[in-house]
Amino acid sequence: MDLAHMIVMARGEKQVDLVIKNCQLVNVLSGDVSQAEVAVSGGTVVGIDKGYSGAIIVDLGGRYLAPGLIDAHVHIESSMLTVPQFAAAVVARGTTLVVTDCHEIANVLGVAGIRFMVDSAKESPLDILVMLPSCVPATPLETSGAVLSAGDLEPLLDEPWAIGMGELMNFPGTIAGAPDVLAKLELFKGMPVDGHAPGLSGLDLAAYIAAGANSDHECTSAAEAAEKLAKGMYVFMREGTGARNLLDLLEAMNPSNSRRCCLCVDDRHPGDLLSRGHIDSMLRMVVETGIPPVTALQMATINTAERFGLAEYGAIAPGFVADMVAFDDLESFEAMLVFKAGQIVAKQGRVIRDLGVSPEVGSSFNVAGFSAERLVMPASDGARARVIGIVQDQIVTEALSAEVPVRDGAAVSDPASDTLKMAVVERHAGTGNVGLAFVRGFGLKSGALASSIAHDSHNIVVVGCTDADMAAAVARVTAMGGGQVVVAGGKVAAENPLPIGGLMSSLPAEAVASQVDGLNKAAAELGCSLEDPFMTMSFLALPVIPELKLTDRGLVDVGRFEIIGAFDD
Amino acid sequence: MDLAHMIVMARGEKQVDLVIKNCQLVNVLSGDVSQAEVAVSGGTVVGIDKGYSGAIIVDLGGRYLAPGLIDAHVHIESSMLTVPQFAAAVVARGTTLVVTDCHEIANVLGVAGIRFMVDSAKESPLDILVMLPSCVPATPLETSGAVLSAGDLEPLLDEPWAIGMGELMNFPGTIAGAPDVLAKLELFKGMPVDGHAPGLSGLDLAAYIAAGANSDHECTSAAEAAEKLAKGMYVFMREGTGARNLLDLLEAMNPSNSRRCCLCVDDRHPGDLLSRGHIDSMLRMVVETGIPPVTALQMATINTAERFGLAEYGAIAPGFVADMVAFDDLESFEAMLVFKAGQIVAKQGRVIRDLGVSPEVGSSFNVAGFSAERLVMPASDGARARVIGIVQDQIVTEALSAEVPVRDGAAVSDPASDTLKMAVVERHAGTGNVGLAFVRGFGLKSGALASSIAHDSHNIVVVGCTDADMAAAVARVTAMGGGQVVVAGGKVAAENPLPIGGLMSSLPAEAVASQVDGLNKAAAELGCSLEDPFMTMSFLALPVIPELKLTDRGLVDVGRFEIIGAFDD
């Protein structure tokens, strides 16, 4: 807004667009909650006193009015929703801004994928700001759809939505001084750089921070959070669908350091967004521990805005973007009304305005080199295979070994001992690469599961009892242009099409959540003992988490960080 | 420092420059005070754990180690000391960085004056960062040595030491939308803009903030501070030589808003710096109220660094500049050792390294047009003069009137009724301008006082019992190239030469303080009833403070903001 006009409106010399009356303003700047009237002009808060006349008057009937909630770190792709449908789910809960690291789609589509996410938000009631993906691909031991160097990222720094560098997962490379990592850190010097350093501490942590990583969202204990705060990191306390750390980390927070604590979900599945909610669910958890509501709201608003240098976000005061949410109380944090830049965008848990649509995105599948024969694992009788051992509720695995049955000169799945074949089928470049190994922990008695969500390269991952069902599952994922499928006896038992980059659906959260439920039920009917087998499967191709993982290039010994054979030497 | 080298040093792979052992680290990031070892390399903190080997080891014997103190807003010129001598006084007290608005010297010498201040700090153990003066001159009702427009300031924005816009005293112009003010605000959009808005509240305050002013150091009550915090300003709590607001303002501070509270002295005289100290004196006051020492130190370190976006200042953690101060305890805050960028610069209250020297600066005096005859005030018998009424301990004045004696057709001072003549002699451009009026409150029985410190244009201000002594005093100030003088019977009774811009001495604080004492004693011997007549006099030419002030253009009715006659109509 023109400065002269802003001054005129703030002085109340002309009618403003909107006056919100009869509310208890949660002022995250002063730490007070008190009666106020909020005046908005041109999408900006111009005043918080009585004395304005407004074209529109909203009477909140004494309810609380807080700044719109901010998620400090989220991979929208993990919701399997497009930005508009993700917005529908989270804006209804009071979220008006998310800081996203879109490294999932970037691993598939590169810079075009990043731009796709930003363009998808253009008409949406949710603002998205991007931390540019720093680790595409995550490792050189896999084939991704794109490689992003410092030189690829540099032109994006001119974009207003690019505010820093996304999670620097390559902390070993950082503290070893890897030149490609340092080149990126030099590029982002003085900007926010999100860290990702689970368990890093002591002098190595100091080096990682001194190199530029100034936040972390991977803490799992209060002691870890305390050390990271003490050394200068912002700590993003996470409560995802899988990783749930908030309550543990709150124990490290005190009134002198809470300003450096923010809230994030990292990854939340659609069913979870619908049932638990988004940042609002974390506010409920925080205040239940006895922490004052103003402190909780600061974690979800001004703290995050400050961390990212967003001077116009995170508070309700003159000059701030008029992103606001009205709550009935500061315990349940149920969003009664949500304002985006002064417009009412959601009422009583439902978005009431157009969400916009995502632009078209081309196919991200090229499996020209694949055929069912590529699933065959030649072996001689009595072969002992290395086996990826799933650990319940964790993404680390164990390195096991087992004798596997051999038929017609090839090792095959053995459902009786829960030793199943697993494959990772390269889907970006038509290389025909298929990584093969054995896995234990799914409990499948028949059929196969396949998915094009497989962190971070998102090749097709498939686990099954027969090569035929595995091949049928891969074929179905390919035919859908991406998605998740349960196949039994050569037929599709359940599926969740994800045609957008093989990661996202254009359906609403309710529909996607229902499809995911269908998958889980179908898998259970085939004997699967995991609660969420597709989430488990999505991490089995991520070769930065110990001990054994499988990529399209083969079995990875994560500790040695090299490809090894599928069978014992 | 090179990133690769920084990482190597932080990991402890090589010997660092300095290890500080056996200290209680005051961690303003985590809010904790705990045992630590601090490793420094290349002037930067690289670690805070045990495990480093250092070329130099300093054992603090269990003492506290805190970040170097930061003054959020100071006019160094008010100390009458050059930057090196100011540094000697404050670095010894633990201050390692000041944010200065050098609008005093800028009113005299313009951009050259600003550069002079910065250049003076080059060899000094004190870092100075500059908020560029926004109001030079303060008003169009006076003649200053320079006029700084937005266009004059713009080239300075490329300088690393220029971090924002200095105190925007012209708040009436701001909220009236004055184009020259808005041009400056547009120039500094998105940067720190220090406000100066005593008593401004409600919708006018909202307008001032919406226009861009995002701090204030002029609060005098807790209610005023609370409103400014709530509307989004950082509040700089001030404890100057004259204006002492800290204790009142602390009542507005709470754990949820303390992060937006900083400490500043604004203006402190040399004697005050020596006897009370600098930011350390404010820490003592804060903790005496029962506020935790960590909170007090945050106000003097990280809060200020955050307000100004100084990511490398204000804490002791990897990547921060190694500015640190060791205290025996967290009550007296007596600085035992002070480190600037990892070098010991002060020990037990004394700076132990070279202070550097200020560069030469040319004459700032051009009084070619002045002669004693310009002090004559033609009047007829029974004339009633308007009289500036001094109010004890305040810089506001009252508008009085009195009959004044007339001799040889001219109005003269009347010591019997304490109605004295006052003149403001233009000293920059040789215009010969002399503003003349009467003042009450000095109590001088004979002699005259003159000074070249007269906010903000710093013309020569003189008060006296006879034209002859007044002229002699002006002549002496001119001969010194600036300064302060007490004249009695045509002879100099005491003086304080300030040859640098007419504002500063190159002598140490002790010498200047002693000269100021000499002036006050000499004035008292002439009957002066004011404790600090030169400070009072320095504000009598500032036409932004009600009600009557005198500039070189004449008597100003501040309420009407116009020049009026010296006599009643």
pLDDT in tens, B50-71: 999 999 999 999 999 999 999 9
Residue B360's pLDDT band (cuts 50, 70, 90): confident
Q: How many CA atoms lie within 13 A of B81 on its CB side?
A: 29
Q: What is the pLDDT of residues B21-33, one digit of tens each?
A: 999 999 999 999 9
Give percent of chain B above pLDDT 90. 93
Inspect the interface and report whether the beta carbons of B210 and A319 lie closer than 8 Å. yes
Q: How many CA atoms lie within 13 A of A425 on its CB side?
A: 31
Give chain B positions within 8 Å (CB) of A315.
232
Amino acid symbol at B173:
G
**Residue of A24, A30, A45 to mutate when probing chain B, most B C-beta within 10 A:** A30
Inspect the interface and report whether the beta carbons of B10 and A206 lie closer than 8 Å. yes
Distance CA A338, CA A312 (A): 18
Which residue from B69, B12, B1 is spatially nearest to B37, judged by alpha carbons?
Answer: B12
Instruction: Give me the count of residues in chain A.
Output: 569
pLDDT at residue B541, rounded to an integer: 96
pLDDT at residue B25, rounded to an integer: 98
From first CA to last CA, the distance across chain A in angstroms is 69
Beta bridge partners of B67: B324
Inform me whether the pLDDT recorded for B243 exceeds 90. Answer: no
Inspect the interface and report whether the beta carbons of A210 and B255 lie closer than 8 Å. no
SS3 A505: strand
pLDDT at residue A369, rounded to an integer: 83
Inform me whether the pLDDT recorded for B376 exceeds 80. Answer: yes
Beta bridge partners of A162: A130
pLDDT at residue A243, rounded to an integer: 85
Closest CA–CA distance from residue A346 to any residue of chain B (Å): 26
pLDDT at residue B54, rounded to an integer: 97
Q: Name the closest residue on chain B to residue A203, using Cα atoms.
A: B11
Which residue from A439, A425, A428 is spatially nearest to A375, judged by alpha carbons?
Answer: A425
B72 CA to centre of own chain? 11
Amino acid symbol at A83:
V
Mean pLDDT of B173-189: 96
Closest CA–CA distance from residue A439 to any residue of chain B (Å): 38
Inspect the interface and report whether the beta carbons of A46 and B206 lie closer than 8 Å. yes
Give chain B positions within 8 Å (CB) of A181.
none
Which residue from A521, A476, A522, A520 is spatially nearest to A502, judged by alpha carbons?
Answer: A476
Closest CA–CA distance from residue B168 to any residue of chain A (Å): 15
- Please state the pTM of the whole predicted model: 0.95
Question: Is the distance from CB of B93 to CB of B280 less than 8 angstroms?
Answer: yes
Distance CA B347, CA B563 (A): 53
Q: Which value does ipTM take for this structure?
A: 0.94
Inspect the interface and report whether the beta carbons of A298 and B44 lie closer than 8 Å. no
**Residue of A231, A291, A295, A313 to mutate when probing chain B, most B C-beta within 10 A:** A231
Bond before B562 cis per omega within 30 degrees:
no
Which residue from B309, B30, B304, B194 is spatially nearest to A307, judged by alpha carbons?
Answer: B309
pLDDT at residue B43, rounded to an integer: 97
Residue B362's pLDDT band (cuts 50, 70, 90): confident
pLDDT in tens, chain A (569 residues): 799 999 999 999 999 999 999 999 999 999 999 999 999 999 999 999 999 999 999 999 999 999 999 999 999 999 999 999 999 999 999 999 999 999 999 999 999 999 999 999 999 999 999 999 999 998 899 999 999 999 999 999 999 999 999 999 999 999 999 999 999 999 999 999 999 999 999 999 999 999 999 999 999 999 999 999 999 999 999 999 888 899 999 999 999 999 999 999 999 999 999 999 999 999 999 999 999 999 999 999 999 999 999 999 999 999 999 999 999 999 999 999 999 999 999 999 999 988 888 898 888 999 988 988 999 999 999 899 999 999 987 888 999 999 999 999 999 999 999 999 999 999 999 999 999 999 999 999 999 999 999 999 999 999 999 999 999 999 999 999 999 999 999 999 999 999 999 999 999 999 999 999 999 999 999 999 999 999 999 999 999 888 999 999 999 999 898 999 999 87
Give chain A positions within 8 Å (CB) of B260.
29
Closest CA–CA distance from residue A315 to any residue of chain B (Å): 8
pLDDT at residue B60, rounded to an integer: 98
Residue B190's pLDDT band (cuts 50, 70, 90): very high
Helix (H) or strand (E) holding A537: helix A533-538
Q: Which two tokens stand for residue B19?
A: 């290890």
Give chain B positions within 8 Å (CB) of A49.
202-203, 206
Q: What is the pLDDT of residues B466-509, one digit of tens each?
A: 999 999 999 999 999 999 999 999 999 999 999 999 999 999 99
